[in-house]
Structures are given as C-alpha cells and as structure tokens.
Amino acid sequence: MKNIYPINRNGNWFKGNLHCHSTMSDGKLNPDEVVNLYKEKGYSFLAFSEHGLFTNLSEFNSKDFLIMPAIEAGIYVKDSEKCYHIHGIQGSKEMIKSTGNTPLNHNDRMAPPDWKDVNTVQNVIDKLNNTGNLVMLNHPVWSLTELDDFIDLKDYFALEIFNNSCEMETKTGLSTVYWDSLLRRGRKIWGIATDDNHNKNKFGDASITWDSFGGWVNVQANELSQDAISEALLAGKFYSSTGPEIYNYGIENGEAFVECSPVEKVYFRSNTYGYSRCNKSGEPVTKITYKLKGTEKYIRIECEDKFGKTAWTNPMFISE
C-alpha cells in the first residue's frame, strides 16, 4: 500500500468562504459590507456566488484578501419543488486558456434554462467547465434531490457537503451521506463546507451574521492568488470545517493518520465500515492512527469537537 500525504504540515493555509450572497442578488448586505465582515474574522478569500450572475469584484483584492470570481446557476424542475444549484468558481489562467473559449465576465448572466430532463443540468455544468470554472453541486438535501436525481451528473469537482445557511434555516445543510454514496461508486469528488450567507434576519432578534462564519475551507497553497487557490482546490489540497482545525493527515505504512486541534471524536469513513475513536480518559484527541484493513478503496476523516463542530478531510483514494 502506497503512502499518501495530501498536505504539507508546514505549508501556507488560507481560510475562505466559497459561497455567499450580497445585494447583487438576494443578500441583505452590500458587497463591501460582506467583505469587511469576513476580513474582520480573519478570512483570506471569499466568493460572491450570486444567483444567475457572474461577478468578479477584484476591486476588493489586496495582498492579504482575495475575491474568487463566481456564480450560482439555478435549474428548476418543472412541476416540482426540486431544483439544482450549480456553482462555478473561475479557475486559473491556465485552466481558462486550456478551454479555448472566452471566460465569463463580470455581470454576465445565466438565466435558468427550461427544464427537459437531467441533461438540462449537465448542460449547465458543461458550460461552466467549458469557460474555465471549477464546478460544484450545491446543497442537494436543501434542493430536495435524491441520489438518483444527480447520480448520472459528471464533471463537477466537488459536492457542497455542509451549507451553514441551509443547516441554520431548515436543518438541510449536511450532505455527507450523498458524498459517501458517490465515493463508494468510484467517483473522485472533494467535499466543501460553506456559509451560503445571505445575512437576512429570519429569526427575530438574531444577529445579521446569523448565517455567516459557520462553514469554510482551509486551503493549502503557495500564495494567495486566484491561480494558486483554484489549482489547490482542484487538487483537493484543503479541508472543510465548522470548527476544528486539521494540521496534517495521510496514509503512512498502512495506517491512516490525522493531527488536529483538540477534538472529542475522530471517524475514519470508507467504503467499508470504517472506525471511530475517542480517548477513554476523556481527554481531547489531537493525533490518532488507524490500521487499514486492506479492503478500503478510499478513506476520509472527520474530527468532531465537544460542541459537535466537525472538520472533514478530503478522501484519499487507496486503489489508485
């Protein structure tokens, strides 16, 4: 069994939210207000994924903060409450060049297409890929879709496994069951946690940030640039979290391992039954290993703290 080291313990980490909204679509706050909120919380990058509207708000870029150009394209199933929200995050210059097509530009619109069948969704995915974007399938539980509704979709690099706004609003933000279903079928798909913040006060006296700062990614990249972040995302050099930090993980000498901030439980998830571990003494866990059985096709790790907050590694594909 080969050793796998997805990240470098001493690499550069950049924290970001890849899914947010402003007054440019259905958010409550202006873009500059959203940017200031996230900068104050120590975020390094943000993607404004406005509904049907591609934005490139590069005027907010600085040496320590980056806006990733993005769009959230909607497809609505006829005579049904089901929908698909497809996320496009503009890739690196090399990704765009390799398509041979003109990339999306600021204020370009993608109106919801007329529904015919699931190929309507695939066409949107293809359009985003063909214009140099990384494509993610957003909040499938909130969208009322079943696995059968998107099992045949292809060419998206990530699934939104946690959506803070959906979780806060209707407890429909967690999609890891779908993630494992896809992984067990041999699909190589990364998992991403986001806020999807709209900053609309839906709970009376709730703070304007009620749906912010609840889900994010920590990306390991050489520098804070669109090229570096998008390349790292595509390569899976990141982890997702709602709280805990992950410092290192991988497979070495037939054992999966993880090093993290103090947590209560660690879960090793796979196509087999996997493994869970907590410290018998009740002390927090910060480092743990699991000897693999040899039947795993992939393995991913979840670290859960005493507050129920979770960090997710990306899957490691053992059979490759």
Instruction: Decide yes or no: CATH 3.65.10.10 for domain 244-320.
Output: no
Give the closest residue to 125 by CA, choosing from 78, 148, 157, 147.
157
Q: Does the pLDDT value for residue 254 go beyond 80?
A: yes
Element spanning 302, H or E = strand 298-304
> What percent of the chain has a predicted confidence (pLDDT) above 70?
99
Tell me what pLDDT residue 320 has: 62
Q: pLDDT tens digits, residue range 62-97?
A: 999 999 999 999 999 999 999 999 999 999 999 999
For 13-242, CATH number?
3.20.20.140
Rounded Cα gap, residues 259 and 257, in angstroms: 7
Rounded Cα gap, residues 152 and 266, in angstroms: 32
Q: Does the pLDDT value for residue 6 go beyond 80?
A: yes
241: its two tokens: 């979290």
Cβ atoms < 10 Å from Cβ of 123: 13
Q: Please report, for the chain, the start and end positions of each structural domain, with discontinuous segments joined by +.
A: 13-242, 244-320
Find all residues with CB under 8 Å of 174, minimum gap 6, and list them: 141, 161, 162, 167
- Enumerate long-range contacts of 75-78, CB under 8 Å, 24 or more apart: 75/112, 75/113, 75/115, 75/120, 75/121, 75/124, 76/112, 76/115, 77/115, 78/114, 78/115
Q: Does the pLDDT value for residue 34 go beyond 90?
A: yes
pLDDT band at 237 (very low <50, low <70, confident <90, very high): very high
Q: Does the pLDDT value for residue 10 go beyond 80?
A: yes
- For the chain, what is the mean pLDDT? 96
pLDDT band at 205 (very low <50, low <70, confident <90, very high): confident
Tell me what pLDDT residue 273 has: 87
Cβ atoms < 10 Å from Cβ of 237: 20
Q: Does the pLDDT value for residue 271 go beyond 70?
A: yes
Give the closest residue to 231 by CA, choosing from 57, 68, 38.
68
Q: For 209, which DSSP code?
A: T
Rounded to an integer, the average pLDDT of 224-237 is: 98
Say which range, 10-24, 249-263, 276-290, has the weakest mean pLDDT: 276-290
Q: Does the pLDDT value for residue 116 go beyond 90?
A: yes
Rounded to an integer, the average pLDDT of 19-30 is: 96
Tell me what pLDDT residue 277 has: 83
187: its two tokens: 């699909």
The whole-model pTM stands at: 0.97
- In degrees and rounded to multiples of 5, residue 56 shows phi and psi of -135, 85
User: Does residue 47 contact residue 20 with C-beta atoms inside 8 Å?
Assistant: yes
Rounded Cα gap, residues 182 and 150, in angstroms: 10
Rounded to an integer, the average pLDDT of 281-287 is: 89
pLDDT band at 278 (very low <50, low <70, confident <90, very high): confident
320: its two tokens: 């490759």
Q: pLDDT tens digits, residue range 145-173?
A: 999 999 999 999 999 999 999 999 999 99
Find all residues with CB under 8 Å of 113, minimum gap 6, and list them: 75, 120, 123, 124
